[in-house]
């Protein structure tokens, strides 16, 4: 990048940091209807994060952690606030809460709670990694709670962090700071920690938080949680896709401030986990609907997207629920026994995708 890509010159020329261009959904991101047509595994109000623990599926749904199966589900833990992050290490689980902090259930540290790291409260836990006594936490922001993530985007905050806590000794360390909404993490076989930066549309090793610090950068959407795939690659959930309108609004400071101060949050020009049918929705009429039917190629208010990455975090292919679909706001995905289980938070559903059919119809 050159000096022309920053400051007033960039704004005048519409380039660099002032550009409102977004990547197209093509190549590895070519649209399909796999998520929309896949089998429904179950309806779960408030579904958010899904993980595998001892060969079983655990799901956070509202203030409960559920063990779910094809025929039944059971509650294994309940909290006083909604769950915003979940991970498991054998029978032990760690749970991030919308009220702040992380709680441990099971094992030698059962019922312990971490509410601050290095003297700073944990206000926005978004993803966790538990390895024995070591707990790694991504915090989206120190200014907003997880339920107000759209405000954090519109305020253009870059105030997330990644921290690590030793549950036995109590030792704490900050692994990364000034993160553009840390929203997921995974550990590679080499021991490196890679996180998703939602507002920078990229995955980054914590040793290099620049937008191009990973082969997976300039994504067409806002990345969320990451999980390991059976073949050595990864699954990346993307909870919304970028649009030129949102990119434009992010560069108009006065307009954005007035919108935040005077308009209800559900009507902000911002990504959404579910499309509205309200007549006050920011986008409607000819460019979105025709004869009452929502166009699948309309500018997306919400979208459903999961991306398959290789072992070097390069996108290979993707699974979609397009604009006219309902399974939007994908926040988590995990693979178990040849099936990909995907959480559509917007629809309150867990979807079961047969990976053999994906191999036949997309990969080959």
Report the DSSP beta bridge partners of residue 315: 309
In this structure, is residue 18 part of a structural domain?
A: no
Q: Where are the beta strands (DSSP E) in 221-338?
A: 221-228, 234-241, 289-290, 293-294, 304-309, 315-321, 330-336
In this structure, is residue 5 part of a structural domain?
A: no
Task: Provide the whole-model pTM.
Answer: 0.92
Q: What is the pLDDT of residues 41-98, one digit of tens each?
A: 999 999 999 999 999 999 999 999 999 998 889 999 999 999 999 999 999 999 999 9
Q: What is the CATH number of the domain that holds 98?
A: 2.120.10.30
Structure tokens, 18: 């002032």
Provide φ and ψ at 178, rounded to 5°.
55, 50
In this structure, is residue 196 part of a structural domain?
A: yes
In this structure, is residue 17 part of a structural domain?
A: no
In this structure, is residue 225 part of a structural domain?
A: yes
What was the pLDDT predicted at 214? Answer: 72
In this structure, is residue 205 part of a structural domain?
A: yes
Provide φ and ψ at 24, rounded to 5°.
-85, 155
Residues of the chain with pLDDT under 50: 284-286
Give start and end residues of each alpha helix (H) in the chain: 7-13, 34-37, 149-154, 244-249, 253-262, 355-358
Enclosing domain of residue 325: 30-244+270-363
What CA–CA distance (Å, rounded) separates 309 from 289? 33
In this structure, is residue 264 part of a structural domain?
A: no
In this structure, is residue 86 part of a structural domain?
A: yes
Q: What is the pLDDT of residues 104-114, one digit of tens each?
A: 999 999 999 99
What CA–CA distance (Å, rounded) separates 284 from 292? 10
Q: Domain tally for the chain?
A: 1
């Amino acid at each position: 990048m050159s000096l022309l890509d920053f400051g007033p010159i960039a704004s005048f020329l519409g380039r660099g940091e002032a550009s409102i261009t977004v990547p197209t959904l093509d190549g590895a991101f070519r649209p399909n209807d796999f998520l929309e047509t896949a089998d429904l595994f179950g309806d779960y109000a408030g579904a958010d994060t899904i993980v595998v623990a001892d060969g079983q599926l655990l799901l956070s749904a509202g203030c409960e952690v559920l063990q779910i199966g094809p025929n039944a589900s059971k509650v294994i833990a309940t909290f006083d606030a909604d769950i915003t992050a979940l991970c498991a290490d054998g029978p032990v689980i760690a749970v991030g809460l919308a009220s702040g902090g992380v709680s441990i259930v099971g094992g030698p540290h059962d019922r312990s709670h971490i509410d601050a790291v290095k003297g700073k409260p944990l206000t926005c836990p978004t993803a966790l990694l538990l390895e024995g006594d070591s707990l790694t936490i991504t915090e989206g922001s120190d200014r907003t709670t997880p339920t107000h993530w759209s405000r954090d985007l519109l305020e253009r905050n870059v105030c997330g962090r990644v921290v690590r806590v030793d549950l036995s000794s109590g030792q704490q360390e900050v692994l990364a700071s000034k993160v553009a909404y840390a929203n997921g993490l995974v550990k590679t076989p080499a021991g490196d920690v890679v996180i998703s930066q939602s507002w920078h549309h990229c995955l980054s090793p914590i040793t290099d938080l620049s937008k191009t610090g990973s082969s997976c950068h300039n994504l067409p959407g806002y990345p969320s949680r990451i999980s390991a795939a059976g073949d050595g690659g990864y699954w990346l959930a993307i909870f919304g896709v970028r649009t030129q309108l949102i990119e434009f609004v992010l560069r108009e400071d006065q307009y954005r401030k007035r919108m935040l101060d005077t308009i209800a949050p559900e009507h902000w020009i911002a990504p959404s986990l579910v499309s509205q049918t309200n007549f006050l929705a920011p986008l409607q009429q000819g460019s979105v609907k025709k004869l009452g039917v929502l166009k699948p190629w309309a500018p997306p208010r919400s979208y459903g997207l999961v991306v398959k990455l290789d072992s070097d975090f390069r996108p290979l292919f993707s699974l979609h629920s397009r604009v006219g679909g309902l399974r939007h706001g994908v926040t988590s995905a995990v693979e178990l026994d040849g099936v990909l289980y995907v959480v559509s938070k917007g629809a309150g559903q867990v979807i079961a995708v047969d990976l053999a059919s994906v191999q036949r119809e997309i990969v080959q």
